[in-house]
Amino acid sequence: MRCPGNLLSRRDFLTVGAVGGLGLTLANFLELRQAQADQKHYDFIEAKADSVIHVFLPGGIAHQESFDPKPYSPIEYRGEIGSIKTNTGEVVSETIPQLAKIADRYAIIRSMTHGEAAHERGTHNMFTGYKPSPALLYPCFGSVISHEYGPRKNLPPYVCIPNQPNVYAGSGYLSSSFAPFSLGADPASGGFKVRDLSLPGGVADERFARRRSALEAVNYYFAQRDKSDNVAAMNTFYEGAYSMISSPQAREAFDLEKEDPKLRDRYGRNQAGQRMLMARRLVEAGVRMVTLTYGGWDMHSGITPGMRSQMPALDQALATLLLDLEERGSLKRTLVMVSSEFGRTPKINQTAGRDHWPKVFSVLLAGGGIKGGMVYGMSDATASEPEADPVSPGDLATTMYYQLGIIADKELMAPGDRPIEIVDGGQLIKPLIG
């Protein structure tokens, strides 16, 4: 008979006796039981997206001259660039006429907000969903996805085009084996070739196989002597490199010459166009997340000519990417996210530009189960701050992870056996989910 309030059953005491023989005390056992009780349990989420293309616009793109114009504000707020209507009746900048024609394929968040006006800190927010911390470097979206799902079809799970754009686009406190694979070259450049993706001259397949066997033996020896992250990461990188080199399908995924020249023209023979085309090829081949950068949007002066110079290529490439994915039947399973680290000041400054402004800015989302043809949130009349439904970087990250079937508050293990949530406190943006 068990006494009321007895914490342990006879079976539990027998278990304690068993573990005690292995050197565990009753206190150890109770501590273990409590740890098990405290451990989070996660419900299964059916993924609506298989992959992500993150188009990052470094420098802080002006929301007023792109996705959130203010045509009825005074000229010193609205700027010199006009606005046009989309095919859904919304208003966007005249700099994106092609995107305006297909607004039913994407959603715009006009109420993104955080408090970091420095490029580095704002970038950290938008790549991790976390505010920067002096004590811990958080992993970026791609590294978390890599950690949760791993590679597919002999391809790295996370690729950066052309290179890792900043330190916050890396693996953070996770193993460096979850860091991105960078192309190391621009797909728009002449003679484009991904570094380290082909056999050195004079190395035949048979010789290549012998080298791999030898390297595996060496790696095993050092791994037994040193269990460090560096060794594990090296093994992972080498294995990934060998898989890509030895796989014709993997090598082909990086070869833009396999594309129809007319489609390459349709994207645009420029950085924006060829980078986005490469991103589409990679996710189609099996890469889980591609992060690409385009342009420089830190326009403290001359914002009108600056935007008129850079926006046409972005407009053409992004519109083509969405339509190309749709035509291939891939848009439903590919989440496209267009973001920047912050927006620009409501008022034009004395040098005809706009300065840093994190209080409100815009993000575009498409595909991957996101409702098209809608605008979520609202900035006020001068694009100074959110007027309705503010969205934090944590909210955006939580929503992106949800579409991928990842629980945002799942705990990952940081150094020192510290459980850290993938996102802390983010809320799912339910109206965006189709």
Compute the half-sphere exposure of residue 274: CA atoms within 13 Å on the CB side of its CA.
18
| Among the ranges given (6-10, 26-30, 143-147, 283-287), the one the predictor scored with the smallest mean pLDDT | 6-10
What is the crossing angle of helices 26-38 and 10-20, to 10°? 120
Amino acid at 398: T
What average pLDDT does this structure show over 293-297?
Answer: 98
Residues 6+ apart with CB under 8 A from 374: 88, 107, 108, 431, 432
Amino acid at 429: I
Percent of the chain with pLDDT over 90: 74
Query: Which of 214, 229, 253 marks a domain boundary?
Result: 253
| Among the ranges given (117-126, 129-138, 172-181, 194-203), the one the predictor scored with the smallest mean pLDDT | 194-203
Q: In the structure, what pLDDT confidence band is assigned to residue 309 with cuts at 50, 70 and 90?
A: very high
Q: Is residue 68 part of a domain?
A: yes
Q: Is residue 128 part of a domain?
A: yes
Compute the half-sphere exposure of residue 164: CA atoms within 13 Å on the CB side of its CA.
16
Pair (329, 203) in one structural domain: no
Pair (229, 373) in one structural domain: no
DSSP 155: B
- On whether the CB atoms of residues 55 and 337 are closer than 8 A, the answer is yes
Task: Please name the residue that has the structure tokens 């570094």.
Answer: 195
- State the Cα–Cα distance between residues 114 and 359, nearest whole angstrom: 6
Pair (266, 246) in one structural domain: no
Number of structural domains (the chain) is: 2
- For 384-418, what is each residue's pLDDT tens digit? 999 999 999 999 999 999 999 999 999 999 998 89
Is pLDDT above 90 for 24? no
Pair (332, 425) in one structural domain: yes
Residues 6+ apart with CB under 8 A from 128: 138, 139, 140, 141, 168, 172, 393, 397
| Among the ranges given (127-136, 174-183, 230-239, 422-431), the one the predictor scored with the smallest mean pLDDT | 230-239
- State the Cα–Cα distance between residues 371 and 394, nearest whole angstrom: 20
Predicted confidence at residue 399, as pLDDT, reads: 98
Task: Please name the residue that has the structure tokens 């294995």.
Answer: 239
Pair (183, 202) in one structural domain: no
- On whether the CB atoms of residues 397 and 408 are closer than 8 A, the answer is yes
Is pLDDT above 50 for 218? no
What average pLDDT does this structure show over 66-84?
Answer: 97
Pair (328, 420) in one structural domain: yes
What average pLDDT does this structure show over 35-57?
Answer: 79
Predicted confidence at residue 230, as pLDDT, reads: 55
CATH of the domain at 342: 3.40.720.10
Pair (227, 303) in one structural domain: no
- For 342-374, what is each residue's pLDDT tens digit? 999 999 999 999 999 999 999 999 999 999 999
Is pLDDT above 50 for 35? no
For 202, the token pair is 């004079």
What's the Cα-to-Cα distance from 232 to each of 124, 224, 238, 322, rounded to whole Å? 26, 11, 10, 38
Predicted confidence at residue 41, as pLDDT, reads: 58
164 versus 240: the higher-pLDDT residue is 164
Is pLDDT above 50 for 16? no
Query: Which of 253, 269, 297 marks a domain boundary?
Result: 253
3-state secondary structure of 336: strand
- State the Cα–Cα distance between residues 375 and 405, nearest whole angstrom: 24
- On whether the CB atoms of residues 60 and 122 are closer than 8 A, the answer is yes
Q: Is residue 89 part of a domain?
A: yes
Is pLDDT above 50 for 6? no
Domain hosting 374: range is: 51-188+260-432
Average pLDDT, the chain: 86
- Written in H, E and C, the secondary structure of 353-393 is CCCEECCCEEEEEECCCECCCEEECEECCCCCCEEECCECH
DSSP 13: H
Is pLDDT above 50 for 215? no
197 burial type by CB count under 10 A (0-12 exposed, 13-18 middle, 19+ buried): middle
Pair (139, 278) in one structural domain: yes
- State the Cα–Cα distance between residues 363 and 376, nearest whole angstrom: 10
Predicted confidence at residue 290, as pLDDT, reads: 98
Task: Please name the residue that has the structure tokens 């986005």.
Answer: 276
- State the Cα–Cα distance between residues 283 and 281, nearest whole angstrom: 6
Predicted confidence at residue 197, as pLDDT, reads: 63
Q: Is residue 9 part of a domain?
A: no
> Would you give the distance in Å from CA 327 to the centre of its chain?
23
- State the Cα–Cα distance between residues 100 and 197, nearest whole angstrom: 39
Predicted confidence at residue 204, as pLDDT, reads: 53
Pair (422, 362) in one structural domain: yes
- For 110-129, what is each residue's pLDDT tens digit? 999 999 999 999 999 999 99
212 versus 110: the higher-pLDDT residue is 110
Predicted confidence at residue 221, as pLDDT, reads: 47
Q: In the structure, what pLDDT confidence band is assigned to residue 44 with cuts at 50, 70 and 90?
A: confident
- Which of 58, 62, 68 minimizes the C-alpha distance to 303? 62
Q: Is residue 63 part of a domain?
A: yes
- For 151-177, what is each residue's pLDDT tens digit? 998 899 999 999 999 999 999 999 999
Q: Is residue 402 part of a domain?
A: yes
Pair (124, 150) in one structural domain: yes
Q: Is residue 170 part of a domain?
A: yes
Is pLDDT above 90 for 102? yes
